[in-house]
Chain A
Amino acid sequence: MIRALVTWMDERLGGAPFLRNALKKAFPDHWSFMLGEVAMYCFIFIIASGTYLTFFFHPSDARVVYNGTAIPSLRGRTMSDAYASVLKLSFETQAGLVIRQAHHWCANVFAAAIVTHMSRIYFTGAFRKPREINWVIGLTLLLLVIGDGFTGYSLPGDALSGAGLKIAQSIALSIPVIGGWVAFLAFGGNVPSAETTNRLFAIHILFIPLLLGALIAAHLAVLWRQKHTQFPGENRRENNVVGSPLWPNYTVRSVALMLATFGLLLLLGGLVEINPVWLYGPYDPWTVSSPAQPDWYVGWLDGSLRLGPRLALRVGGHTITALFWAGAALPGCIFALIYAWPWIERRLQPDEREHELLDVPWANPLRTATGVAVLTFVALLLFAGSDDVQARLTHISVQQITWAYRIAVWVLPPLAFALAWRVCRELQARHAYEEDHPPRVVLVRTDEGGYDEEPVPVP
């Protein structure tokens, strides 16, 4: 039957040689090469679960009175139709809550998987020529996922995400010259506007997913054309790639990973509560709860706002506001640096060759140390975003914790840079030593008259 199928396809599409080559394609076996696939499977899951949710969600800010019985303390309360539809989906639709929670978990894991995957690409130098295109596409994918996550969790119109929308508008407004227009076009007016939820819905289910789909397809196409990189090793050279074949070995592994990803997301969706909007209550622009944090992939931005300098500049008849530095300028600089890194590294370490073999991280101390420093910086911003939660846990005043982060965020990254540099140099030295001093053996006579090998410890 398989033969009949292949014949049928080849007669119409001429694809037999392609199929043969594809099935034999080599996929290196190192586990870290599968990180990108986790992101891809998260994409599939989020589209599938999101499609289900669109059948139930009402993207409308029209006021309705909630008469459901699921949440007694909200009965008779006036709220947006969007919020009411989320309550209905969660409590009056079977499996609605699990799928909604799994969808939100997937957003968190999707962003985390991309960051982990990008870290692997970075620390092994896989972004070098000819793969700069995929580096740029990949970082754009991360930004799109962050944007889709933000618009997504702002859709229900609960108190927590409503505060976040207001903050986002304030950041948009702080952008010089175009800020007002960016804010009002993105949110349909001054938040809370009657257009906001519908606007965010269009961005969340149509605009960004289309871009995501197109860019992921491009990402995979480029990867297919350029073939995989690989770690150096026995029989691994710049002009070959060695690994398991796509069929059957790699396919089985990859499908296992896909099923495991889906399974973990659904397990989380059923067992661990996420974004319990019925506990937060509907959004009122003049009330707010404490603590107030966004999802983690926006949390570093919130941390930046908390630490931000109280610095407003008057320029002509205008103001570059305090919020601009922490909310727009700093993230802009970080992402510009990451985008430009392949070219920055080429400038600092001139290298016009094509690279198919990866570096182990300590082989390039400058790259690794810079990466560690940047990750430390962003991680500190992320932790700073939960400074009040930490204050509650440790009974240290939030003011002191905030000051500690304000200092740490400038002091620790250079220290991390220096430390990583040192570690790389040490590992380089050790490997060089081991290459110069290969393991030796001595022959020892046994009682029976034969010879035994005994390894000599490296001096």
Chain B
Amino acid sequence: MIVLAAAAFLAAAAPLPRATVPSTPASPVAGASPGAMSNGMPQPPATYTSVSAPPPADQVKVGGELYAVHCISCHGADLRGTPMAPGLTSSGAGDVDFQLSTGRMPLEVPGTEPMRGPPSFPRPQIDALIAYVVSHGGTGPPIPVLHHNADLTRGRVIYEENCQQCHGATGDGAVAGFGWLAPSLKASIPVQVAEAVRTGPGIMPRYAAADISDRDLDALVGYVEAMHRPDDRGGYSLASAGPVGEGLAGWIVGVGGTIIVMLLVGETLAKKRSA
């Protein structure tokens, strides 16, 4: 019974992203931008990778209507912001795509930490909202263009220098203080990782290209992707709880198991086996 309870505890210790459905990647566009990658990495809408091309007007209109229904109550008219939420004039395509495609926005309860969940909008509506924000003064980073970089060693170095202190050595997430959580990275897709790095959502710092170059970002994204399949050759990973889980297991299996053996061969005060 104790073993079951401990197993339940350790199972609960596995980080639970609120979404189990991976969020929809950006839809591929015909005539893709140069450097489009293979290996199944999604391509961003080509129209937003270059700052100078304006989005189609009807997309902006649709986006505006969606904004007026879902976003304006917190983010204010003309992206100005309200006491409940910041303005979006410094947000770009990268920010909006990240927040919407990971289901963080719209935020159900204002003032709480946005968490990953099922996206509230299908892909075309996300594109429309991006178009609206970008064309109304959103000046933040675009959706990053990713290239395949197989240098896992470099990716790991970047991860250990910049990411593991919040997201954990195994990418399972950890506390970021005062109720905030740096989330698990196990449900993320590459473009979302790149967007988070460039835009710094929530209390996460942001890393511009002069800090983490595009090439290093590609390597980092590749490493995060590789972390989705952790190398647990040693056996059951105890939900990556580290020494905490190991201590629990040592007590339960080691001491508990040997106590069972002792009870089988010895006596208790109540019951004597021998004559």
Interface residues of A (CB under 8 A from B): 29-35, 38, 71-77, 90-91, 97, 101, 105, 108-109, 112-113, 116, 159-160, 231, 244, 253, 256-257, 260-261, 264-265, 268, 270-276, 278-281, 284, 287-291, 293-297, 299, 360, 382, 385-386, 388-389, 391-393, 395-399
B interface, size bucket: 35 or more
Q: What are 19 pairs between A and B in contact, CB < 8 Å? A: A30-B268, A73-B226, A101-B235, A108-B247, A108-B250, A108-B251, A116-B255, A160-B242, A256-B265, A272-B234, A272-B236, A273-B232, A273-B235, A279-B231, A289-B165, A290-B168, A290-B182, A295-B246, A296-B243
B157 within 8 A of A: yes
Which residue of B is nearest A164, CB measured? Answer: B243
- CB-based contact B174/A276 at 8 Å: no
B residues in contact with A398, CB < 8 Å: 175, 177-178
- CB-based contact A31/B265 at 8 Å: yes
Which residue of A is nearest B254, CB measured? Answer: A109
- Which residue from B153, B247, B259, B269 sits with its C-beta under 8 Å from A77? B153
How near does chain B come to A20, taking the closest CB pair, in angstroms? 22
A residues in contact with B268, CB < 8 Å: 30-31
A residues in contact with B152, CB < 8 Å: 72-73, 75
**With contacts A77-B156, A397-B178 known, what are 12 further pairs, Cβ within 8 A?**
A29-B273, A31-B265, A38-B258, A108-B246, A160-B169, A256-B261, A271-B235, A272-B253, A273-B234, A279-B170, A280-B169, A295-B247
B residues in contact with A231, CB < 8 Å: 269
- Which residue from B161, B234, B241, B272 sits with its C-beta under 8 Å from A29? B272
- Which residue from B15, B238, B248, B265 sits with its C-beta under 8 Å from A392? B15
B residues in contact with A386, CB < 8 Å: 244
- Which residue from B174, B247, B273 sits with its C-beta under 8 Å from A290? B174
Whole-angstrom CA separation of A290 from B184 in the bound complex: 12
- CB-based contact B238/A272 at 8 Å: yes
- CB-based contact A270/B235 at 8 Å: yes
Whole-angstrom CA separation of A276 from B169 in the bound complex: 11
Whole-angstrom CA separation of A362 from B216 in the bound complex: 66
- CB-based contact A389/B241 at 8 Å: yes
- CB-based contact A260/B258 at 8 Å: yes
A residues in contact with B156, CB < 8 Å: 73-74, 77, 281
How near does chain B come to A69, taking the closest CB pair, in angstroms? 12
- CB-based contact A296/B247 at 8 Å: yes
- CB-based contact A289/B247 at 8 Å: no
Q: A72-B152, A75-B153, A388-B174 are in contact. Are A360 and B257 (CB under 8 A)?
A: no
Whole-angstrom CA separation of A320 from B185 in the bound complex: 42
B47 within 8 A of A: no
Interface residues of B (CB under 8 A from A): 12-13, 15, 152-153, 155-157, 160-161, 164-170, 173-175, 177-179, 181-182, 223, 226, 230-238, 241-244, 246-251, 253-255, 257-259, 261-263, 265-269, 272-274
Whole-angstrom CA separation of A297 from B266 in the bound complex: 28
- Which residue from A75, A244, A276, A382 sits with its C-beta under 8 Å from B237? A276
- Which residue from A72, A77, A257, A280 sits with its C-beta under 8 Å from B265? A257
Which residue of A is nearest B233, CB measured? Answer: A97
- CB-based contact B242/A272 at 8 Å: no
Whole-angstrom CA separation of A395 from B236 in the bound complex: 24
Residue of A72, A289, A293 with most chain B CB atoms under a 10 A cut-off: A289
B residues in contact with A295, CB < 8 Å: 243, 246-247
- CB-based contact A276/B175 at 8 Å: no
Q: A289-B168, A397-B179 are in contact. Are A271 and B247 (CB under 8 A)?
A: no
A residues in contact with B153, CB < 8 Å: 72-77
How near does chain A come to B202, taking the closest CB pair, in angstroms? 15
Whole-angstrom CA separation of A392 from B238 in the bound complex: 15
- CB-based contact B181/A31 at 8 Å: no
Whole-angstrom CA separation of A396 from B179 in the bound complex: 6
- CB-based contact A101/B262 at 8 Å: no
- CB-based contact B262/A32 at 8 Å: yes
B residues in contact with A101, CB < 8 Å: 234-235
- CB-based contact B164/A289 at 8 Å: yes
B residues in contact with A278, CB < 8 Å: 231
Whole-angstrom CA separation of A398 from B182 in the bound complex: 13
A residues in contact with B274, CB < 8 Å: 29, 244
- CB-based contact B243/A109 at 8 Å: no
Q: A76-B153, A244-B274, A257-B258 are in contact. Are A29 and B247 (CB under 8 A)?
A: no
B residues in contact with A91, CB < 8 Å: 233
- Which residue from A159, A253, A270, A293 sits with its C-beta under 8 Å from B169? A159
Whole-angstrom CA separation of A73 from B153 in the bound complex: 4
- Which residue from B164, B181, B235, B266 sits with its C-beta under 8 Å from A30? B266
- CB-based contact A71/B254 at 8 Å: no
- CB-based contact B164/A287 at 8 Å: yes
A residues in contact with B15, CB < 8 Å: 392
Which residue of A is nearest B182, CB measured? Answer: A290
Whole-angstrom CA separation of A74 from B223 in the bound complex: 11
B residues in contact with A287, CB < 8 Å: 160-161, 164-165
A residues in contact with B178, CB < 8 Å: 397-399
- CB-based contact B164/A299 at 8 Å: no
Whole-angstrom CA separation of A376 from B243 in the bound complex: 21
Whole-angstrom CA separation of A29 from B78 in the bound complex: 82
Q: A34-B262, A293-B242, A392-B181 are in contact. Are A274 and B234 (CB under 8 A)?
A: yes
- CB-based contact A299/B243 at 8 Å: yes
B residues in contact with A159, CB < 8 Å: 160, 169
Whole-angstrom CA separation of A90 from B232 in the bound complex: 12
Whole-angstrom CA separation of A386 from B239 in the bound complex: 14
Whole-angstrom CA separation of A11 from B199 in the bound complex: 86
Q: A272-B249, A398-B177 are in contact. Are A360 and B269 (CB under 8 A)?
A: yes
Residue of A32, A276, A399 with most chain B CB atoms under a 10 A cut-off: A276
Whole-angstrom CA separation of A398 from B161 in the bound complex: 24
Whole-angstrom CA separation of A386 from B153 in the bound complex: 30
Whole-angstrom CA separation of A296 from B272 in the bound complex: 35
- Which residue from A29, A72, A76, A271 sits with its C-beta under 8 Å from B267? A29
Whole-angstrom CA separation of A244 from B161 in the bound complex: 61
- CB-based contact A271/B236 at 8 Å: yes
Whole-angstrom CA separation of A416 from B246 in the bound complex: 27
A residues in contact with B247, CB < 8 Å: 108, 295-297, 299, 382
- CB-based contact A288/B243 at 8 Å: no
Whole-angstrom CA separation of A220 from B217 in the bound complex: 61
A residues in contact with B168, CB < 8 Å: 289-291
- CB-based contact A31/B259 at 8 Å: yes
A residues in contact with B182, CB < 8 Å: 290
B residues in contact with A33, CB < 8 Å: 266
- CB-based contact B250/A293 at 8 Å: no
B residues in contact with A388, CB < 8 Å: 174-175
